[in-house]
């Protein structure tokens, strides 16, 4: 087999490849089971599967990759309308796994004990590997078409940045229908030959018991790990702790440093770009900053008029990305695809960022909800959130801009915490940052609305106004 994406599965001696919960498979067992799936799905235009955190999902994805058939991961908690849209839009011809009520597609079972010979030739780098559907916060979910080339480029760039290799054991318990859990957390481990231990759920005690060297988590996971000091201290023997999918609050960064002895790695990416920016294993790790572009990736910041933004660590700009990790487009939506690229083929991420003189990046947030224009100032919600999180009465916070007749937008902070005093918190921000960045309103709530990856659903908060 010509290995383009998964060389470790066929190169070198047989060894443990994947553990999911109580089930484990060696490389040869995984290749045999996945090849049986590949034989069954070969020739399909695309194949959907409910991406539960199970060995079936790992085998199914690898089987599709071996067969050169695009895999379409379905979120396990998707409702009938969302599931129907994804299946229809993707044109999936087969459903891997168990039948689903109301889904009229031929079902292909996944048998952990079945074996077949691997295909003689792995598909080329330009072929589609995955169709990942975005969360659809501004409409129906869009199918992001990711080639094998794009996935490989991102994973190899991260291997360079993190010194990730077959000597590592990767541990995580993230969902397998997102880039973080599936592309990095499964395909990345298989590409680089590092055994994967998936804990099914990202619980602190399970992370501590896994004995890994490389750990993935989202900020919510790391916050919960730090809330269990004994489990957190057990991670002191790890090599790297990586956080992504949402900004890591500075207090959690500090708690990880204190309890584990490690400054976490922070990185940036999205479905359309895979992972493009990261701090490095051998470099600086600065709370709130996601580091430098990985190998082959270029970034730039533009202002509202389309002019370059200075790299001074302060001036906000629209983040644009170019390089080999970019997606091939939105499935069946050329108009939307074209609208997301500049005339010179840079992808417009929709995120606001700053870059310092050394090239370090800080992501301020989404332009649509995190760039606040108040009283003539451009304010990033992220810096106000980081300031509030450094106050002892605040455990979680989300900052938004709501319409205001006088200011254009006023800064409103939704705060989770005890003994929350709005005036005290507002003045705290004014003394920490600048007066014009203080929240005009503090709203205490019991919990922030979040998606499966821990990202706050700010549009749900804005719907209150």
Query: Three-state SS across the chain?
Result: CECCCCHHHCCCCCCEEEEECCEEEEHHHHHHHHHHHHHHHCCCCCEEEECCCCHHHHHHHHHHHHHCCCEEEECCCCCHHHHHHHHHHHCCCEEECCCCCCCCCCEECCCCCCCCCCCCECCCCCCEEEEEECCCCCCCCCEEEEEHHHHHHHHHHHHHHHCCCCCCCEEECCCCCCHHHHHHHHHHHHHHCCCEEECCCCCHHHHHHHCCCEEEECHHHHHHHHCCHHHHHHHHHCCEEEECCCCCCHHHHHHHHHHHCCCCEEEEEECCCEEEEECCCCCCCCCCCCEEECCCCEEEEECCCCCECCCCCCCCEEEEEECCCCCCEECCCHHHHHHCECCCCCEEEEEEEEECCCCCEEEEEEHHHHEEEECCEEEEHHHHHHHHHCCCCCCEEEEEEEEECCCEEEEEEEEECCCCCHHHHHHHHHHHCCHHHCCCEEEECCCCCECCCCCECHHHHHCCC
Q: How confident is the model at residue 137 (pLDDT cuts 50, 70, 90)?
A: very low
- 177 assigned to some structural domain: no
Q: Are residues 407 and 328 in the same domain?
A: no
- pLDDT at position 4: 53
**Cα–Cα distance for residue pair 449/461, rounded to 1 Å:** 8
Task: Give CA–CA dist 25/115, Å, rounded.
Answer: 12
| Closest residue by Cα to residue 270 from 323, 327, 324 | 327
What is the pLDDT, as a whole number, of residue 453?
66
Give the model's pLDDT for residue 462: 81
Kindly state whether residues 134 and 241 are assigned to the same domain.
Answer: no
The verdict on 352 and 380 lying in the same domain is no
Cα 28 to chain centroid distance, Å, stands at 29
If asked whether residues 72 and 26 sit together in one domain, one would say yes
262 and 328 share one domain: yes
Q: Among candidates 4, 139, 108, which has minimal Cα distance to 46?
A: 108
Paired with 179 in beta bridges are none
Does the pLDDT of residue 363 top 50, yes or no?
Answer: yes
Q: Residue 345 to residues 308, 309, 331, 340: CA-CA distances in angstroms? A: 16, 18, 18, 9
pLDDT band, very low/low/confident/very high, at 365 (cuts 50, 70, 90): confident
pTM of the full structure: 0.86
pLDDT tens-digit readout, 155-211: 999 999 999 999 999 999 999 999 999 999 999 999 999 999 999 999 999 999 999
CATH number at residue 131: 3.40.50.12780
> Are both 293 and 244 inside the same structural domain?
yes
Measured CA angle at 68 (ends 66, 69), to 5 deg: 110
For residue 333, give the nearest of 178, 194, 204, 140 by alpha carbon. Answer: 140
Q: Which domain holds residue 394?
A: 375-462
In a domain, 23, yes or no: yes
More confident residue, 6 or 88: 88
Domain boundary among 334, 366, 398: 366
Query: Is the pLDDT at 19 greater than 70, yes or no?
Result: yes
Q: For residue 173, tell me if it sits in a domain.
A: no
Residues 117 and 245 in one domain: no
Q: Classify residue 126: in a domain, yes or no.
A: yes
Give yes or no for residue 1 having a pLDDT over 50: no
Is residue 142 located within the same domain as residue 11?
A: yes
From 57-61, 349-353, 367-371, 394-398, the region with the lowest mean pLDDT:
367-371
70 found inside a domain:
yes
- If asked whether residues 359 and 382 sit together in one domain, one would say no
Quick one: average pLDDT of 70-84? Answer: 90
* Residue 192 located in a structural domain: no
Q: Which residue has the higher pLDDT, 11 or 324?
A: 324
Domain stop point among 366, 393, 425: 366
Residue 360 and residue 383 share a domain: no
Residue 439 lies in a domain: yes
Same domain assignment for residues 140 and 265: no
Q: Quick one: which of 43, 69, 87 has its CA closest to 127?
A: 69
pLDDT in tens, 197-242: 999 999 999 999 999 999 999 988 999 999 999 999 999 999 999 9
Say yes or no: 215 and 250 in one domain.
Answer: yes
Specify if 175 maps to a domain.
no
The sign of the torsion formed by the CA atoms of 173, 170, 282, 224 equals positive
pLDDT more than 70, % of the chain: 97
Q: Would you state the pLDDT for residue 463?
A: 76
Q: How many domains is the chain partitioned into structurally? A: 3
Q: pLDDT band at residue 2, thresholds of 50, 70 and 90?
A: very low
Beta bridge partners of 362: 354
Average pLDDT over residues 28-50: 96
Last residue of a domain, one of 345, 366, 387: 366
Diameter of the chain measured on Cα atoms: 69
For residues 57 and 196, give the distance between their C-alpha atoms in angstroms, rounded to a whole number.
14
pLDDT in tens, 425-446: 999 988 888 788 899 999 999 9
Task: Give the burial class of 212: count Cβ atoms within 10 A of its Cβ; 0-12 exposed, 13-18 middle, 19 or more buried.
Answer: buried
The residue with greater pLDDT, 78 or 226, is 226
Question: What's residue 381's pLDDT?
Answer: 85
**Has residue 135 got a pLDDT over 70?**
no
Range with the lowest mean pLDDT among 41-55, 121-135, 223-237, 273-287? 121-135
Pairing of strands 196-198, 361-366: unpaired
């Amino acid at each position: 087999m010509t290995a383009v994406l998964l060389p470790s599965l066929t190169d070198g001696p047989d060894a443990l490849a994947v553990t999911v919960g109580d089930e484990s498979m060696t490389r040869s067992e995984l290749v045999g089971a996945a090849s049986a799936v590949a034989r069954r799905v070969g020739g399909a235009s695309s194949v959907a599967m409910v991406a539960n955190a199970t060995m079936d999902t790992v085998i199914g994805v690898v089987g599709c990759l071996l067969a050169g058939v695009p895999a379409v991961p379905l979120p396990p908690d998707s409702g009938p309308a969302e599931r129907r849209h994804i299946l229809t839009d993707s044109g999936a011809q087969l459903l891997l796994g168990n039948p689903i009520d109301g889904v009229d597609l031929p079902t292909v079972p996944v048998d952990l004990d079945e074996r077949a010979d691997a295909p003689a030739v792995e598909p080329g780098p330009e072929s589609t590997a995955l169709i990942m559907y975005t969360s659809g916060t501004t409409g129906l979910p869009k199918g992001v078409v990711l080639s094998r080339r794009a996935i490989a480029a991102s994973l190899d760039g991260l291997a360079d940045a993190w010194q990730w290799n077959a000597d590592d054991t990767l541990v995580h318990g993230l969902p397998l229908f997102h880039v973080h859990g599936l592309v990095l957390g499964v395909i990345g481990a298989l590409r680089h030959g590092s055994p994967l231990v998936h804990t099914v759920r990202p619980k602190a005690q399970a992370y501590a018991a896994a004995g890994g060297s490389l750990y993935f988590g989202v900020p919510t996971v790391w916050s919960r790990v730090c809330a269990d000091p004994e489990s957190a201290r057990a991670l002191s023997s790890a090599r790297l702790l990586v956080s992504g999918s949402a900004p890591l609050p500075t207090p959690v960064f500090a708690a990880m440093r204190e309890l584990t002895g490690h400054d976490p790695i922070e990185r940036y990416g999205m479905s359309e770009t895979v992972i493009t920016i990261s701090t490095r294993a051998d470099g600086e790790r600065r709370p709130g900053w996601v580091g430098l572009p990985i190998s082959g990736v270029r970034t730039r910041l533009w202002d509202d008029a389309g002019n370059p933004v200075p790299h001074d660590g302060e001036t906000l700009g629209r983040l644009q990305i170019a390089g080999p990790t970019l997606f091939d487009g939105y499935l069946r939506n050329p108009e939307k695809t074209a609208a997301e690229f500049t005339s010179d083929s840079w992808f417009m991420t929709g995120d606001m960022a700053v870059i310092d003189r050394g090239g370090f990046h800080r992501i301020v947030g989404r332009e649509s909800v995190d760039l606040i224009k108040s009283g003539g100032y451009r304010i990033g919600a992220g810096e106000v959130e980081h300031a509030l999180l450094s106050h002892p009465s605040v455990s979680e916070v989300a900052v938004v801009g709501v319409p205001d007749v006088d200011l254009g937008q006023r800064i409103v902070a939704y705060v989770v915490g005890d003994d929350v005093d709005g005036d005290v918190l507002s003045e705290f921000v004014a003394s920490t940052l600048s007066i014009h960045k203080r929240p005009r309103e503090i709203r205490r709530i019991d919990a922030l609305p979040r998606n499966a990856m821990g990202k706050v659903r700010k549009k749900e908060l804005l719907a209150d106004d």
